[in-house]
Amino acid sequence: MSIYILGIESSCDDTSAAIIKDNVVLSNVIANQSVHEQYGGVVPELASRAHQQNIIPVIDAAIRQANIQKNDIHAVAFTKGPGLLGSLLVGVSFAKAFALALNIPLVEVDHLEAHILAHFLQNQEHSITHPKFPFLCLTVSGGHTQIVKVEAYNKTTIIGQTIDDAAGEAFDKIAKIMQLPYPGGPVLDKMAQVGNADKFKFPKPNIKDFDYSFSGLKTSVLYFLRDQLKENPNFIEEHKVDLAASVQKTIVDILMQKLIKASKATGIKEIAIAGGVSANSGLRNAVLAQKEQLGWNVFLPHISFSTDNAAMIAIAGYFKYQDQIFSNQHATPYSRSKTNKKYF
C-alpha cells in the first residue's frame, strides 16, 4: 500500500507544504517572503506573521496540486527545528491541529536531517540515484555548516561543524558588504561565473579536526574593501565579478578541504552535499572534480530540493513513519541544532 505524507516546513522565511506518495513528490509548494529584502536579512517577527498568512493557502494548494483528498493522507510531518521559534510555531501548531482533526499520526523532523534525506526524493518525471549507506553529507545552508556521517535513514552523526558563521551566512554577509541584494549567495554565484577567481586572495582559517570557521573571511573581506575604497570609491563596482569569483573560490576551498579530510579519515567515498549552498555552481564543480581525483561517488541534490522545501520534510517523515517513530501533541519546537557531534 502506498503511503501519503503531508510535509510542512516553516523554519525560516519560506512557508512550504508538500505531498509525497512513498518517495515520489506529488506537490511541493513554496511561498517566499519578499518582505525581508528591504531589510537585507530575515526579520523574525515579520517572518512569523507571513507564515500565519501563507500556511493555509500553501497547504491547500499542495493538496490540490497532488490531486488527492485530505483523507488520503496517512501522516503529517513537520519541521520541529532548528530555526526561528516564532516561524516554527506556526508550522508546528498547524501540523498538530491537522493531525488531531484527521486522527492521523504526527511525525517531527529535524530540518538539517531533512536536507540530507532530500537525496532520496524522486520527481514524478524521472528517477534518481541516491547515495548508499554509509555516506558523508556536507550540509551547507544559511544557518548551518556540517559534515554528517549517515549510516541509515534515521542514524546520523555530526563529525564536523562551523564554530561561528555558516557558509551561506558568509556568502550573504559578504554580498551585503558588496551592496548586493539579499540573499546574496545566488547573486554572488551568478557573478562569480564570469569573474577571475585568482584575482584576489583571502586568508583561510586553520581550525582543528573537521570543523569550520567563516567569520574571519567576512572580516578580512570587510577590511580589504574598506582600504581599497579609500583609494578608489568605485573599487567594488569595477571589480565585482572578480571579487565574487575570488570570495566564492575561498569559501568552496575551505568547504572542500575538510570534506576531503573527512573522506580520507573515514574511508567513505560516497559523498553528498545538501542545503541551500549546495546549489552553488562552484561547490558543485569542486565536488564533481573529486570523482576523478579521489574516486568519489558524488550526489548533488536537484536544485529545487537544495533550498528550503517541504518535500524534504515529507521524505524524512516517511522514513520515520516506516520505523513507527511518532511525535505527539506535546511537541515543542527548538531553535538550535541538536549537538550529537562526535569525532572518531
183 binds, among ligand KG4, Zn ion, none (CB under 5 to 8 A by kind): ligand KG4
Stretches 55-63, 164-172, 202-210, 335-343: which one binds ligand KG4 (CB under 6 A)? 164-172
Whether the CB-CB separation of 144 and 341 falls below 8 Å is answered with: no
Using CB under 6 A, pick the residue from 113, 172, 242, 270 that binds ligand KG4.
172
Binding pattern for the stretch 221-260 against ligand KG4, x by CB under 6 A and - elsewhere: ----------------------------------------
**Residue number, 52 or 304, with CB nearest to ligand KG4:** 304
Footprint (CB under 6 A) of ligand KG4, residues 261-290: 275-277, 279-280
Q: Residues near 88 by Cβ (< 8 Å), separated by ≥ 6?
A: 10, 11, 79, 80, 81, 333, 334, 335
Contact between 308 and Zn ion by CB under 5 A: the answer reads yes
In whole angstroms, how close is the CB of 323 to Zn ion at the nearest point? 23
Whether the CB-CB separation of 84 and 47 falls below 8 Å is answered with: yes
In whole angstroms, how close is the CB of 202 to Zn ion at the nearest point? 26
Q: Alpha-carbon distance 116 to 108, whole Å?
A: 15
In whole angstroms, how close is the CB of 252 to ligand KG4 at the nearest point? 9
In whole angstroms, how close is the CB of 278 to Zn ion at the nearest point? 10
Contact between 142 and ligand KG4 by CB under 6 A: the answer reads yes
**Residue number, 73 or 178, with CB nearest to ligand KG4:** 178
Contact between 168 and ligand KG4 by CB under 6 A: the answer reads yes
How far apart, in Å, are the Cα atoms of 304 and each of 17, 122, 238, 284? 14, 12, 33, 15
| Grid-cell match 517513530, residue found | 325
Contact between 82 and ligand KG4 by CB under 6 A: the answer reads no
**Residue number, 141 or 250, with CB nearest to ligand KG4:** 141
Whether the CB-CB separation of 159 and 149 falls below 8 Å is answered with: yes
In whole angstroms, how close is the CB of 14 to ligand KG4 at the nearest point? 7
In whole angstroms, how close is the CB of 319 to ligand KG4 at the nearest point? 20
In whole angstroms, how close is the CB of 14 to Zn ion at the nearest point? 9
For ligand KG4, the nearest residue by Cβ is: 276
Using CB under 6 A, pick the residue from 7, 81, 186, 317 that binds ligand KG4.
186
Q: Residues near 108 by Cβ (< 8 Å), separated by ≥ 6?
A: 77, 78, 80, 320, 327, 331
Number of residues that bind Zn ion (CB under 5 A): 2
| Grid-cell match 550526489, residue found | 299
Whether the CB-CB separation of 296 and 269 falls below 8 Å is answered with: yes
Stretches 13-21, 136-144, 263-271, 324-332: which one binds Zn ion (CB under 5 A)? 136-144
Using CB under 5 A, pick the residue from 15, 122, 141, 278 that binds Zn ion.
141
Give residues in contact with Zn ion (CB under 5 A). Answer: 141, 308
Chain residues in the site for ligand KG4 (CB under 6 A): 12, 141-143, 168, 171-172, 183-186, 189, 275-277, 279-280, 307-308
